[in-house]
Each structure stands twice: as C-alpha cells, then as structure tokens.
Amino acid sequence: GAGVSQSPSNKVTEKGKDVELRCDPISGHTALYWYRQRLGQGLEFLIYFQGNSAPDKSGLPSDRFSAERTGESVSTLTIQRTQQEDSAVYLCASSFSRSSGNTIYFGEGSWLTVV
C-alpha cells in the first residue's frame, strides 16, 4: 500500500485479555516505530526497530508489552493482561532509514479501549 497500514483500527477488549496490534510499514522502509497517544496528548515512544539491529525497547511501559518485527516487514505489538490504563491510540510509523533526512510516516493508529 501507499502508506503505513494498521489493524485493527478499533479494538474493545475486556480487562485482563491479551491484544495484538499489527503494523504494515511502507515498502522499503527499514525503520519502524511504535508510539502510544492518550486522548488529546502528545505521543509516547514505545519501541523502535531498525533493520536487523537489536530493537530499542526502552519505551515499553511494562513487561506486559512486547513487539516483534519480521525482517523489514510487518510488526506486531502485543499487550498481555490488558489494564484500563492501556486504553489509548497505538500509532505505528516507518521511515526509509535512520538517517536524519528521512521523513517518518505515521499510520492512522489502532484505538484500544479496555473495559
């Protein structure tokens, strides 16, 4: 596709259940990012993948959060035993490389509501 694709666009889940959010980056983009955005606020960095390098997981808020990326393609963000404070928009972004001249493109996000 032309842009960063995320699914599902909306997810309502019960507290304690696990959820998986998927991101399909722009073809050819080696860098992939996950951010979290609470309502009306700025974005919170979660994790960053760059090619075959070890991911930067320093933003993951707890061990209930994990993410994987297969090569330079799809990434999955998993939240285990969801809590109400996990409710937010989870945004994925990609860029051509980690070079400073490359624009980061965001997807439309996955709205997660934990009830």
Partner 1 sequence: TQLLEQSPQFLSIQEGENLTVYCNSSSVFSSLQWYRQEPGEGPVLLVTVVTGGEVKKLKRLTFQFGDARKDSSLHITAAQPGDTGLYLCAGQAGGTSYGKLTFGQGTILTVHP
Choices 15-23, 67-75, 78-86, 87-95; region in contact with partner 1 by CB under 8 A: 87-95
Residue 108 sits in the site that holds partner 1 (CB under 8 A): yes
Distance in angstroms (rounded) separating the CA atoms of residues 62 and 76: 16
Asked if 43 is part of the footprint of partner 1 (rule: CB under 8 A), the reply reads yes
Q: For residue 20, state whether it binds partner 1 (rule: CB under 8 A).
A: no
Contact 13, 20 (CB under 8 A): no
Q: Give how far Cα 75 sits from Cα of 60, 72, 84, 100, Å.
A: 15, 9, 24, 22
Task: Find out whether 110 and 12 touch, Cβ atoms under 8 Å.
Answer: no
Choose the binding region for partner 1 from 20-28, 29-37, 63-71, 77-85 (rule: CB under 8 A).
29-37
Q: Which of 56, 64, 74, 76 binds partner 1 (CB under 8 A)?
A: 56
